[in-house]
Amino acid sequence: MRIRDHLAHAGEPAFRFRQLITAWQASTAETFADVHALPARLRDDLAERFGPRLHPLTALEAQRDEQVEKVLFASDSGARIETVVSHYRAGWDSMCISSQAGCGLGCTFCATGAVGLIRNLTADEIVAQVMHPRWTRAGLKRPASVAFMGMGEALANPHVFDALTLLTAQAYAGMSARRITMSTVGFAPNLERLVNEHPQVTITLSVHSPFPDQREQIIPLEERFPLARNLDILDRHVATSHRKVYLAYLLIAGVNDSDDHIAALAELIHKRSRPELFHVSVIRYNEAAGAVPEYHAPSSNRVDEFVHELTARGIHATRRRQFGTGIDAACGQLHAKYLTQPSAASAPIDKELIPVTPAGG
């Protein structure tokens, strides 16, 4: 990694890099000048060579409701992304992070997909959402769990794998892989890579319809990587890891909430080799800017009935708790109208300011 290599070539002792990483891990330093363990001459040298800041993200603004905070970050390249923190009354926090600026998959329920893909985030930018000192300054601890459920299809971004290593390596963020959730609409090749390289990461696969033709209308990636292929990957994964996987089911009134959908979804799961390890998370549709205007939320009672009918068929199913609808921070609502600003789409990708290559320590 560039900073470590620079320090080595400059003849600095190895513990200087460790001091820098310790400040980064503590999420207390936003700039090199804040790393007071380093001598002033070295802080100045690093700032001159790599720019003043450790993190490639700047917090621009935040929106809050009772239990959710949504923060808009700007990257050094000019791209804008949103990160959401949910505060649970039990005293712990969960962070929903973004993996792309925009998204190119065109899912018809999702506000981000309506924008289109601007670019993949770097591993720096992904990890900086978790490690940014903004949270420390706000009096928050590092989140108990992190979910790749923000803007973008995480498994369409190859930088996600370096980000996972940075988040879980003890030499870096040191999070438990079991406290990280990867959500995907079914990018099968990298789902296969994920279960091989990071088998302890929790996986949520978006289903949204058990019928291929209809699922393709909701999730166009179905045509390229069918649900059946993704389920086969998860089948092998649960058989070897014995880890539970989650199937997200976004319930849309009059679209995918019929009794036929319930029966077909239950049959799909019962065909799995370990159906007891597949858990359906039913989500009430959130109206979102840019999504199909004919989509509407079902009644709360219908969501409960859907869950009840699945459990009556022997399927593990629950209704997902939803926060942040009032600030457009719930599932599918992250839109970021500022994504379409010219500076976000055309600015060059800037240099990396925090460690991004975990290989070799």
Asked about 294 being catalytic, the answer comes back as: no
Assess contact for 198 and 49: CB atoms under 8 A: no
Instruction: Look at strands 68-75 and 80-87 and give their pairing.
Output: antiparallel
Distance of alpha carbon 327 from alpha carbon 211, whole angstroms = 32
**Secondary structure letter of residue 351 according to DSSP:** -
The helix or strand, by DSSP H or E, that contains position 75, with its residue range, turns out to be strand 68-75
Copy the structure tokens of residue 173: 């963020």
Asked about 96 being catalytic, the answer comes back as: no
- Tell me the residue length of the chain: 361
**Catalytic residue of the set 82, 125, 153, 222:** 82
**Secondary structure letter of residue 13 according to DSSP:** -
**Catalytic residue of the set 103, 107, 110, 331:** 331
Residue 70 pairs in a beta bridge with: 63, 84
Query: DSSP for 124-167?
Result: HHHHHHHH-HHHHHTTPPPPSEEEE-SSS-GGG-THHHHHHHHH
| Dihedral pair phi/psi, residue 20, rounded to 5° | -65, -45
Nearest to 83 by CA among 14, 161, 143, 22: 143
> For tokens 């981000």, what's the residue?
112
Letter string b/e over residues 230-240, b meaning 16 or more CB atoms within 10 A of that residue's CB: bbebbbebbee
Copy the structure tokens of residue 247: 């199937």
Distance of alpha carbon 41 from alpha carbon 201, whole angstroms = 41
Cα→Cα distances 220→22, 85, 100, 199, 292, Å: 43, 29, 18, 27, 13
6: number of Cβ within 10 Å: 15
Distance of alpha carbon 23 from alpha carbon 307, whole angstroms = 46
Active-site residue set: 82, 331
